[in-house]
Structure 1
Amino acid sequence: MNRTASVALAAAASIALATPVAQAQSNVLPTPRLVVDSTDPVAVMVSQLDLEKYKATIKGLTQFGDRRQGTKRNRDAVDWIEAQLKSYGCTNTERITYEYNPPAPTPRPAGAAGGAAGGAGAQGPRPQGPPVSAGGGRARGVRTRTGVNSDSLRQPDARLRALNAEPSMPGERQEVYCTKIGTTRPEEMYIIGGHMDGIGWGEAANDDASGSAIVMELARIFSDPSVQTERSIRFMLWNNEESGLNGARAYVEQRAKLQGIEEPKGSGKYPEPKWLGMIQHDMMMFDHGMPNPDGTMRKEQRPEADVNIEFQSNSKMSKQSADLAWYFHSANAKYATDYPAQVGPHMTNTDSGPFQDLVAAISLRENERGTQVGSGWDPHWHQPTDLFATFTDADFRLGLNAAQTTLGGVAKLVNAKRVPASK
């Protein structure tokens, strides 16, 4: 074993002693004993990620309930996200505007159970078995029933039930983003995304306030005037994910052909820099393992909890996407304090999908989307229990480790560095 490997193993052992996994028996969540290398600007940036700030951003999003697309609560959440981004210094916020006019829902049979106003039938399809997703892999082991809760009466909190009661209406939709402009290669860009809408009569805390909060926290750190990047980074808060990735699809339809075009010519400004990679974050916190044989779930996080990094092996950009996934795997090994990463080839059913044939695209998650989430590994998925209060600090810390992974990876890719503040 060479000296570098020995040092790496020693550092890993030191971090492992401080993780919630290593101390699960005591149920104490310690602070990782990780010494920040002040000579590494990326390590300094990663150290600025804070568990309480991450939780506060998730909590801020949950004030709008499930943020279902086509509702006032969704529009209010978009406004709030924009205000937050501006408060971070990411002042060049913009919006994508598009129309969403789905077919009218099929009438339910007379006498079917209803619920309160905007209740059963208003939130989506009735619960069904684990979905079969193209490219999602083959499920194995114990599987439990999954689906979208559409019954308002399953939400015992009257305040939240009332907040979520307004049904979705067709029409105009908007989603907000801001951009860190690169200094020497502004015409090239990485996109960091998470979807801000949800369903199920809860607060959509995990699906996907947990991913949206990662995007927003990274926007906060990269927007610091002392942080300089060679390439650009776009922080994207997708809408309409739950209805079929419609917000991401609208972005691709409107912006793909504008990549790398200087506007106005000679200005050095690129409204849509060339895409170098798309990194999505969708359901980041709940890794409690496979369901028990009786369908119940363990209350504690599983000892093997990890950050899943997925690419789609049957996409046109599979090689480039796999390379990006393994690059992030390396970033996790260097910068994540608690949880390791695992790479999988079955990215599916998230906003990176519309990009996967156009550019290197990966998704970070709590579990494999097709084979684990789809088999019931997260009982709160699209359910009234997807609440901020449902999750423990260990769960939130798993999401924070995904943020550390992405920040470390992207910062390296854009050659981020810190510069003295201008006088």
Structure 2
Amino acid sequence: MNRHPAVLAIFALGVSGAPAVLPAQPAVLPSPAIAVDSADPVAVLVSRLDLERYKATIKGLTQFGDRRQGTKRNRDAVDWIEAQLKSYGCTNVERLTYQYAPPAPTPRPGGAAAGAGAASRPSGPPVAAGGGRARGVRTRTGVNTDSLRQPDARLRALNAEPSVPGERQEVYCTKVGTARPDEMYIIGGHMDGIGWGEAANDDASGTAIVMELARIFSDPAVQTERSIRFVLWNNEETGLNGARAYVEQRAKLQGIEEPKGSGRYPEPKWLGMIQHDMMLFDHGMPNADGTMRREQRPEADVNIEFQANSKMAKQSAEFAWFLHGANAKYATDYPAQVGPHMTNTDSGPFQDLVAAISLRENERGTQVGSGWDPHWHQPTDLFSTFTDADFRLGLNAAQTTLSGVAKLTNTTVRKPSR
């Protein structure tokens, strides 16, 4: 039986693969000091993740406002991401180019169009099947399209340019494997946002994880047997169009050596895809009156989801449980839980082709979709909205993915010469 590579390595983690500066805010208890085992390269790499660096990367992305696709601020953010990756030592930074045109407005009785005013109102992703059944208190969700709900005049002006159809680009870079350069894991997050805020959580928080992992793995002293690709998707908010374009253009290129005999594989065979989308806010269920608790809840966790009705559900579940085990061994603050309802995120276009999972702050369909994050697509999705306890949840997601992928790619760290 052909099993996902995660299963072959799962017991190497030592855990079971079964369910085993900001505004004044409440003080955050420091994480317990954890000794780094210098003989364990995974622990060494995890120790290189730093809360302040993670926050700084998110802050850098928020300088471009909501980074809505089809605007100059989005293109400027793509340029910035590319420059940052190159500054980390990523020597093979590339762009994928595609065309995007929003669907035509749907006519309404009487001649009015459902899409009237679409230039200032983004279209949301389609509702996907398999999102689970909502339970508990629910509050209304939606996409803010009213600029006046953003009280910051500077941010209103920055986000004022409407989206226009046309060419889109997204950036990626690759850590080339030393033994199996023809195989790779894909690590992704989407860099575009909507809502007249800064898209700090959705999804600068996930984009920053991908960028920080690219920084750490790009160290020349870090060697991986398999390749790792770090992708910053565009057009997620319009229906996963950037990820879909990647699959359409590159799936057929998998594992092809180009040129022949060169040992180079422009698109290594996909072994797994990990998406990071909204990583900061796990404050629990809304109160009966629709309000939310202000502080991150102590029992917050990293949600690792696969899609139970996908063609690769079995392999994806095994992949998810492998990362669950990595979290149990290497994450410092927040545990992980596994769920079967991955939906409406950039791992979706991959789910029938390869083991695909997503990491989130909450269950996408049953919790985020029921109003458990009041900042989702709202003007309040700002860097200043979140506390260190929130940012630390995202950092723990980074620890989870980094440690799991480092294990799967048999990563080593060369000691500095004296």
State whether TM-score is above 0.5.
yes
Q: How does 1:324-335 map to 2 (within 5 A)?
A: 324-335=319-330
**Would the aligned equivalents of 2:66 and 2:197 in 1 still touch at CA under 8 Å?**
yes
Q: Any idea what the Cα deviations from partners look like across 1:16-70, whole Å, max 9, x if unmatched?
A: xxxxxxxxxx833213211111110000000000000000000000000000000
- SS state of the match for residue 144, structure 2? coil
Q: Percent identity?
A: 86
Q: How does 1:203-242 map to 2 (within 5 A)?
A: 203-242=198-237
CA distance in 1, matches of 2:177, 2:351: 24
**Would the aligned equivalents of 1:191 and 1:235 in 2 still touch at CA under 8 Å?**
yes
Q: Partner residue of 2:40?
A: 40
Q: Partner residue of 2:9?
A: none
Q: Which amino acid aligns with 2:405?
A: V
**Would the aligned equivalents of 1:120 and 1:152 in 2 still touch at CA under 8 Å?**
no
Q: Which amino acid aligns with 2:59?
A: K
Unaligned runs of 5+ in 1: 1-7, 10-25, 113-118
Q: Residue 197 and residue 52 in structure 1: after superposition, are their counterparts in 2 closer, same or farther (change >3 A)?
A: same
Q: Partner residue of 1:372?
A: 367
Residue 169 of structure 1 is aligned with which of 138, 143, 164?
Answer: 164
CA distance in 1, matches of 2:102, 2:118: 18
Q: Any idea what the Cα deviations from partners look like across 1:279-321, whole Å, max 9, x if unmatched?
A: 0000000000000011111101112100000000000000000
**Would the aligned equivalents of 2:28 and 2:388 in 1 still touch at CA under 8 Å?**
no
- Alignment pair present for 1:182 and 2:177: yes
CA distance in 2, matches of 1:60, 1:132: 31
**Would the aligned equivalents of 2:119 and 2:162 in 1 still touch at CA under 8 Å?**
no
Q: Partner residue of 1:160?
A: 155
- SS state of the match for residue 316, structure 1? coil
**Would the aligned equivalents of 2:119 and 2:164 in 1 still touch at CA under 8 Å?**
no
Give the deviation of 1:106 after TM superposition.
5.8
Give the deviation of 1:123 after TM superposition.
3.0
- SS state of the match for residue 73, structure 2? helix
Structure 2 length-normalised TM = 0.90
Answer with 33-42 or 374-383: which moved more. Answer: 33-42
Residue 406 of structure 1 is aligned with which of 396, 401, 410?
Answer: 401
Q: Partner residue of 1:80?
A: 80
Q: Any idea what the Cα deviations from partners look like across 1:72-92, whole Å, max 9, x if unmatched?
A: 000000000000000000120
Residue 295 of structure 1 is aligned with which of 290, 296, 301?
Answer: 290
Q: Partner residue of 2:62?
A: 62
CA distance in 2, matches of 1:158, 1:253: 40
Q: Which amino acid aligns with 1:75?
A: R
**Would the aligned equivalents of 2:280 and 2:394 in 1 still touch at CA under 8 Å?**
yes
- Alignment pair present for 1:304 and 2:299: yes
CA distance in 1, matches of 2:350, 2:232: 15
CA distance in 2, matches of 1:394, 1:169: 37
Residue 396 of structure 1 is aligned with which of 391, 399, 415?
Answer: 391
CA distance in 2, matches of 1:28, 1:61: 24
Q: Which amino acid aligns with 1:141?
A: G
Q: Residue 125 and residue 79 in structure 1: after superposition, are their counterparts in 2 closer, same or farther (change >3 A)?
A: closer
CA distance in 2, matches of 1:362, 1:193: 10
Q: Which amino acid aligns with 1:308?
A: N
Q: Any idea what the Cα deviations from partners look like across 1:194-231, whole Å, max 9, x if unmatched?
A: 00000000000000000000000000000001100000
Give the deviation of 1:132 after TM superposition.
5.4
Structure 1 length-normalised TM = 0.89
Q: Which amino acid aligns with 2:49?
A: L
- Alignment pair present for 1:249 and 2:247: no
Give the deviation of 1:181 after TM superposition.
0.3
Give the deviation of 1:133 after TM superposition.
3.5
Relative CO higher for 1 or 2, CA cutoff 8 Å, sep ≥ 6?
2
Q: How many residues align?
A: 391
Q: Any idea what the Cα deviations from partners look like across 1:108-134, whole Å, max 9, x if unmatched?
A: 99xx9xxxxxx99613259xxxx9531
CA distance in 2, matches of 1:358, 1:94: 23
Give the deviation of 1:421 after TM superposition.
5.1
Residue 139 of structure 1 is aligned with which of 134, 140, 145?
Answer: 134
Q: Partner residue of 1:124?
A: 122
Q: Partner residue of 1:260?
A: 255
Q: Which amino acid aligns with 2:30?
A: P
- SS state of the match for residue 333, structure 1? helix
**Would the aligned equivalents of 1:125 and 1:150 in 2 still touch at CA under 8 Å?**
no
**Would the aligned equivalents of 1:121 and 1:151 in 2 still touch at CA under 8 Å?**
no
Q: Partner residue of 1:13?
A: none
- Alignment pair present for 1:93 and 2:93: yes
CA distance in 2, matches of 1:124, 1:267: 44
- SS state of the match for residue 308, structure 1? strand
CA distance in 2, matches of 1:351, 1:84: 22
- SS state of the match for residue 120, structure 2? coil
CA distance in 1, matches of 2:412, 2:333: 24
Q: Which amino acid aligns with 1:96?
A: L
Q: Any idea what the Cα deviations from partners look like across 1:118-164, whole Å, max 9, x if unmatched?
A: x99613259xxxx9531100001100000000000000000000000
CA distance in 2, matches of 1:324, 1:291: 31
**Would the aligned equivalents of 2:303 and 2:361 in 1 still touch at CA under 8 Å?**
yes
CA distance in 2, matches of 1:401, 1:373: 19
Q: Which amino acid aligns with 1:201?
A: W
Answer with 402-411 or 31-40: which moved more. Answer: 31-40
**Would the aligned equivalents of 2:31 and 2:333 in 1 still touch at CA under 8 Å?**
no
Q: Any idea what the Cα deviations from partners look like across 1:353-400, whole Å, max 9, x if unmatched?
A: 000000000000000000000000000000000000000000000000
- SS state of the match for residue 140, structure 1? coil
- SS state of the match for residue 357, structure 2? strand
Unaligned runs of 5+ in 2: 1-13, 16-25
